[in-house]
Amino acid sequence: MGNATDRTWQQSHGVRASLAALVIASILPVAAVAAVIIVGIYHKERAQLISNTVARAHAMINAVDHDFSNTRVALSALGTSRMLSSGDLRGFHARAVEALANLHADSILVLDTDGRMLMSTRRPYGARLPVLASTPLLRRILADGQPGVSDLFTGPINKTLIYTVGVPIRRDGRIVMTLNATATPAQLAHVIAEQRLPPTWRASVIDTAGRVVARSHEIDRYAGQRLSDDQLRPATAAQEGGFETRTLDGIDVFVVFSRSPQSGWSAYLGIPLRELNAGLHSTMTWLIGATLAALAAGLGLAWLMGGRITRSVQALIPPALAIGEGSVPVIPALHFREAHELGQALRNAGASVRDARAASQESAQRLTLAANAAHLGIWVRDLHQHTIWVSDQWRALFGFGKEQQVDLADLLDRVHADDRPHVAQTFDSARLGAPRYDIEYRIVLPDGGLRWIGSQGSVEFDYSGHPALVRGVSLDITARKLAELDARQKQKEVTHLSRLAVLGELSGALAHELNQPLTAILSNAQAARRFMAQQPPNLAEVDEILDDIIAEDQRAGAVIERLRRLFDKSETPRAPVNLHRLAKDVIHLLRNDLINHGMVVHTDFAATAATTEADAVQLQQVLINLLMNACDAMAGALPAHAVITVRTATEGPDAVRLSVIDSGSGIADADLARIFEPFYTTKARGMGLGLSICRNIVAAHQGRLWAENNPDGGASVHLRLPLAHEAAP
């Protein structure tokens, strides 16, 4: 770039030659006055014509908006029909056909909120209606609740170009359908005709997509054609204005436009450039002749003045070079006052540059001190040069020496092998233009040590919009990561303690569950001994007794295995869990405890399967806790009221809710918001951990756990979990 600039400088004209023409023009009053008068008159007339044309374009687009407004008012009035509100579309069809005669429209139709066409006056009521491929106007009305007008499109029924005016129809404050009127480009022809434009001018009405809706010439040929981006860009940037272009039929024109703030449509009026410039061409010939004569008379004076200006400018070159070196220049004596002012400005600039350099050095030092104090490593990655600059603090974080060359491959080599693909993908995303990133990853130091790094970066783009630089900082977050791992381990410990706390409540159930098979085993063994003592021994009876002993032993083993898995400290992999089967198993497990509390459990399961991806043992722990809490809440209740309901219900296509409902005294309002807080309890011997741990378990399963009082007494605790993608076998 520097060489190109030098060549341009060497090939450019000197100040003397350049100023000669300027001086000649300034000292020849005839040429100057003629130029001012001619150009002034031309521009004044041109500006007046353009101003008048802008007003006409504004009036034309206002007429278009007036048509739209009349149609919206008529549609809004028609939308109040009782036949429409009662759903009598057959009767409303007849009413719409009558109303069509008073509208600038060729059909009326009704769309529901899904885009289905419910009725159209183009077809008899009940006739099959086409499916709309796209409904942008409907989406816009549903989004902002306001009437609107569509762009030009091909009608699905008559296959001709139409546009639509639509209004929302509400019931109980909610949009339930839209009422629309369609019109063809020909129905806007009166708007252009009313302007009474010269026959050589071109006028068009353009929709928001840049397509021609109405046109003063050959509308049948050009309707629906889109203007070029160069023709549309000015109307996008401003509401009114003008520019030169070529029309669709090849005429060079100056276009004046006015865009409606309501509909976004625009009116374009094109004045042929031949008409606009006719007066200028005739006077410019005389101006050129006068100017040439003035040039010959003033050339000598211009050459003299140019020489003096040149010497003054050249005298300022050494001071300008001195500024680049950071010193304050000495300004020599110059010929002109302006040159002296420029020299003084160079002197002031030299002082400013010196101060700015000092301030920049001070700022850089402060930034370095701040980064070092915060232990931040700063880096800059040049995406064009494929180089990386890093600060000394960054080198210390990553274990690189002060003089060691660092590139992207060196950095990725330090990243832990498990984190390397993610880090490389993040760097690639930044190279492709992702504006920011924030990642955490591990690095392996040269001594084998492991360190966690938090890195944030932002992308800077060049003048062409391509990513050029990535700047960012890196921070050692090892201590925080270790703290997070420690907290996670402690949470597991607390969860295990909760399971052990539940064990105390289940001890009675365990004793009863094991007592039955053990008593049966003892009785069968005693009976077998008696049959073996007979002469001869009754081996058939002994064989049946041995089968009973085996069955009872397996039953006892199943009880012990269920409880062992419940209180096992190790984690189990998640798998599809049928909530109905899990609830039945927990109710069976607590059967004797529920009987001792005098409680009856009813189930009210959803008809469809309720399967979630979960740790079954952890969900058992949650349900046991909720059922035991319900028992405590109804302690002392009469048998008729000692009922707990376990209910499931699907919530949409992706979730299921399981509820434990009691008929106790409910939860006090002050306690309702706090019962899930750790160590908060309303029980005399409670630890305040059960519900808190239950909520953590549910949250880990991407679910939600909450409580509320029932309207007819008692309380409900609801457990919401995502449904599994595939049903459990």
**Are 566 and 648 contained in the same domain?**
no
Same domain (yes/no): 725, 612: yes
Cβ atoms of 394 and 474 within 8 Å: the answer is yes
218: left (phi > 0), else alpha (psi -120 to 50), else beta?
A: left
Contact 545, 528 (CB under 8 A): yes
In a domain, 589, yes or no: yes
Q: Within this chain, do residues 718 and 665 fall inside the same structural domain, yes or no?
A: yes
Residue 269's DSSP bridge partners are 203, 256
Distance (Å, whole) CA 248 – CA 202: 10
Contact 240, 252 (CB under 8 A): no
Q: Which of 424, 459, 474 is the last residue of a domain?
A: 474
Question: How is residue 614 written in tokens?
Answer: 């979960």
Measure the CA–CA gap between 529 and 520, rounded to whole angstroms. Answer: 14
**Rg of the chain in Å (alpha carbons):** 44
Domain coverage including residue 403: 376-474
Query: In sequence order, what are the beta bridge partners of 451?
Result: 443
Residue 1 confidence (pLDDT): 43
* 350 occurs within a structural domain: yes
What is the number of structural domains in the chain? Answer: 4
Distance CA 656, CA 662 (A): 20
- From first CA to last CA, the distance across the chain in angstroms is 72
**351 in any annotated domain:** yes
- The CB-based long-range contact list for 306-310 (8 Å cut-off, 24+ gap) reads 306/14, 306/15, 306/16, 306/17, 306/18, 306/19, 306/20, 306/23, 307/16, 308/335, 308/336, 309/15, 309/16, 309/19, 309/335, 309/336, 309/339, 310/14, 310/15, 310/16
Q: What is the distance between the alpha carbons of residues 472 and 373, in angstroms, rounded to a whole number? A: 17
Compute the CA torsion angle 566, 570, 576, 577 (nearest 10 deg): 10
Prediction pTM value: 0.39
Buried b / exposed e along 588-624 (16+ C-beta atoms within 10 A): ebbebbbeebebebeeebeeebbbbbbbbbbbbbbbb
Q: Are residues 596 and 685 in the same domain?
A: yes
Tell me the C-alpha distance between 109 and 117, whole Å. 7
Whether 468 and 484 map to the same domain: the answer is no
Residue 17 pLDDT: 65
CB atoms near residue 18 (< 10 Å): 14
Count Cβ atoms within 10 A of the Cβ of residue 674 and give its class: 0-12 exposed, 13-18 middle, 19 or more buried: middle
DSSP assigned state of 132: P
Question: Which CATH number goes with the domain that contains 583?
Answer: 3.30.565.10
Is the residue at 532 inside a domain? Answer: yes
pLDDT at 699: 87
Indicate if 631 and 709 belong to the same structural domain: yes
Half-sphere exposure of 586 (CA within 13 A, CB side): 26
Which residue, 474, 507, 524, sits at the end of a domain?
474
3-state secondary structure of 544: helix
Q: What is the dihedral of CA 394, 396, 398, 399, to 10 degrees?
A: 150
Taking every pair of Cα atoms in the chain, the longest distance, rounded to a whole number of angstroms, is: 157
CA 41 to CA 38: how far, in whole Å? 5
Token pair recorded at residue 441: 């990853």
Residues in the chain: 729
Cα 699 to chain centroid distance, Å, stands at: 25
Structure-block tokens of residue 702: 């991407």
Residues 6+ apart with CB under 8 A from 9: none
Alpha carbon 376 to chain centroid distance? Answer: 31
* DSSP H or E segment with residue 197: none
Q: How far apart are CA 271 and CA 720, in angstroms?
A: 69
- Domain boundary pick from 297, 331, 365: 365
User: Residue 9 is encoded by which pair of tokens?
Assistant: 């400088």
Q: Which residues share a beta bridge with 108? A: 181
Is residue 88, in this structure, part of any structural domain at all? Answer: no
Going from the C-alpha of 75 to that of each of 5, 82, 164, 173, 526, the distances in angstroms are 66, 14, 12, 18, 94
Q: What is the CB neighbour count within 10 angstroms for residue 89?
A: 16
Is residue 269 included in any domain, yes or no?
A: no
Check if the beta carbon of residue 463 is closer than 8 Å to that of residue 384. Answer: no
- Do 635 and 596 have their domain in common? yes
Beta bridge partners of 406: none
10-residue stretch averages of pLDDT, the chain, 729 residues long: 46 61 61 67 78 89 92 91 88 91 88 91 90 89 92 89 93 91 90 89 92 91 91 90 90 92 92 77 66 68 69 68 64 66 70 65 57 69 84 83 82 87 86 83 87 86 85 83 73 60 53 59 74 78 76 65 54 79 84 77 87 84 85 79 89 89 84 75 63 82 90 89 65
Q: Supply the CATH number for residue 468's domain.
A: 3.30.450.20
* pLDDT given for residue 427 in this prediction: 84
CB 637 within 8 A of CB 705: no
Q: Is residue 580 domain-shared with residue 541, that is, in the same domain?
A: no
One domain, residues 556 and 596: no
262, containing H or E segment = none
Contact between 630 and 602 (Cβ < 8 Å)? no
Q: Are residues 489 and 505 in the same domain?
A: yes
Q: Are 640 and 694 contained in the same domain?
A: yes
pLDDT value of position 150: 92
Please choose, from the candidates 627, 614, 605, the residue with its C-alpha nearest in 3D space to the C-alpha of residue 509. Answer: 627
Q: Is residue 634 one of the residues assigned to a domain?
A: yes
Is 518 part of any domain?
Answer: yes
702 and 679 within one domain = yes
Whether the CA torsion 571, 577, 579, 584 is positive or negative: it is negative
Task: Give the DSSP letter of residue 100.
Answer: G
